[in-house]
A and B are shown apart, each in its own frame.
Chain A
């Protein structure tokens, strides 16, 4: 396949020494293998995720994503915007939709953008990396690159919320999207077909402000994966990954459980199956080591 080029919005958590820097490492590895070129939007800013609303009103929040889109239009004309973070993707897509439907808001947004010397046309497609994989490349192409099928692994595809609702992936249902299961099968592993917590919420940003309430949700997500015989979780979202991985010890202390379930990104899974090293697949970014993937990577 010919090289595909995109205007890339990495987001705050993907930066060096930030909480999903391991996601970025594995995405880079995966994209190199698949001949996907990611051109970083110059000087991008935070999208304020879904939690900026206490301090920022509607227009300031819209201006954040509008600035990123305007910078992308300027630097990478003709290229779709692609985000790897669920919240980045959602905020940008929501901004695009709202400004598309409300010309007064678009005019005000452009007045604000002018202060930074920018102007928004708002005519780009905003897409998640998963859409690039399954729509622009397709499962067949993704499968062709597999050098080490992940045979014998059983994996629960934890889709979570924001890559699934309200926009989701075209052709998938909100209640039982299948794309992550299909990706798991594409790399030769077995997907947990009946994983009940596939689209349940991990608490999102409220894991910080309401830890007990959120950890109760996370407990159910992990427990259900174990009930379904999963060796690990795989997810497309940085907040899902972090929440379901880092609090397992605290949950164990509170509920008397013995959780130690690795949680990896789809890009780590693909990188390992594509024969890349543990480092290239960012397995050294796992707080709960994914031992089975390390073994496959070192074979």
Chain B
């Protein structure tokens, strides 16, 4: 278990709601949920959530810390914003789900083989290197994220789509060798590093 997780357990012992309010993006909205369930009923991947958003909100108040943070639920969010548009209380549900996912990942509690958690990390690593997404490298790293042999299998399965994209000039093998990027990569990376430091200082994670 990470030190950071241990610190947080001790700091907020007995009040997961307070922990969420203080550490999760838009977390102070959680207490406003009135359990109507419109969010859960509006979610395109609703049936695939271990605990749909409405349930997550109640579980936070009921101190179900590990059940929430170790759940694959938040990683089902497609960012369609249906729940935000329909919530009668105006909760920014999409952002809260992203925030819970970020927090679970920070604590090291997200399900280890969660594909969206892995893909989202690959996406971030890809863009933060040069300032712009390299779609070819992102695609390849996605196919190979579960090891070499599965990667070869996935690549073969996706071959026709790749060929179609190349034929229509919507993908280029040349992207593998460099590709698009920001000119001021140095300033870009310094900015991200500073933003990260400031945030870690605020959430008490620095040095851990």
Partners in one complex: yes
Residues of A within 8 A of B (CB): 12-13, 15-22, 43-46, 48-60, 62-64, 67, 108-109, 111-118, 161-162, 164-166, 174, 200-201, 203-206, 208-210, 213-214, 217, 246-247, 249-250, 284-287
Residue of B nearest to A207 (CB): B78
The segment from B2-10, B11-19, B29-37, B194-202 found at the interface with A is B194-202
- Cα–Cα, bound, A45→B192 (Å): 12
- Cα–Cα, bound, A51→B203 (Å): 21
Q: Give min CB distance, B117 to chain A, whole Å.
A: 5
Apart from A57-B203, A115-B194, A246-B165, what 11 extra A-B contacts exist at CB < 8 Å?
Answer: A21-B169, A22-B168, A50-B94, A60-B196, A111-B194, A118-B187, A203-B78, A206-B76, A208-B142, A285-B170, A286-B168
**Are the CB atoms of B102 and A57 closer together than 8 Å?**
yes
**Given contacts A15-B132, A51-B79, A165-B80, are A201 and B44 in contact (CB under 8 A)?**
yes
Residues of A within 8 A of B199 (CB): 57-60, 108
Among B44, B115, B167, point to the contact of A200 (Cβ < 8 A): B44
- Cα–Cα, bound, A15→B191 (Å): 23
Q: Give min CB distance, A246 to chain B, whole Å.
A: 5
Among B78, B120, B160, B164, point to the contact of A201 (Cβ < 8 A): B78
Q: List 22 A-B contacts (CB under 8 A).
A: A12-B132, A19-B171, A43-B182, A51-B116, A54-B101, A55-B125, A57-B199, A59-B202, A64-B127, A108-B202, A115-B194, A117-B187, A161-B78, A161-B81, A165-B82, A201-B82, A209-B116, A209-B142, A246-B161, A249-B160, A287-B164, A287-B170
Closest 3 CB pairs of A and B: A55-B124, A54-B120, A50-B79
Write the B36-75 contact mask toward A (1 if CB under 8 angstroms, else 0).
0000000011001000000000000000000000000000
- Cα–Cα, bound, A111→B199 (Å): 12
**Are the CB atoms of B135 and A19 closer together than 8 Å?**
yes
- Cα–Cα, bound, A111→B86 (Å): 36
User: Which residues of B from 176 to 204 have beta carbons under 8 Å from A?
Assistant: 180, 182-184, 187-188, 190-196, 198-199, 202-203
Residues of B within 8 A of A62 (CB): 195
**Given contacts A55-B121, A208-B119, are A21 and B170 in contact (CB under 8 A)?**
yes
Residues of B within 8 A of A17 (CB): 169-172, 174-175
Among A13, A108, A285, point to the contact of B198 (Cβ < 8 A): A108
**Are the CB atoms of B191 and A53 closer together than 8 Å?**
no
User: Which residues of B from 75 to 105 have beta carbons under 8 Å from A?
Assistant: 76, 78-82, 84-86, 94, 98-99, 101-102, 105
- Cα–Cα, bound, A67→B187 (Å): 10
Residues of A within 8 A of B85 (CB): 165-166, 174
Residue of B nearest to A18 (CB): B135
**Given contacts A46-B131, A46-B133, A51-B120, are A15 and B180 in contact (CB under 8 A)?**
yes
- Cα–Cα, bound, A118→B133 (Å): 22
Residues of A within 8 A of B196 (CB): 57, 59-60
- Cα–Cα, bound, A17→B161 (Å): 15
**Given contacts A18-B180, A166-B85, are A205 and B135 in contact (CB under 8 A)?**
no
Among B25, B123, B160, B168, point to the contact of A51 (Cβ < 8 A): B123
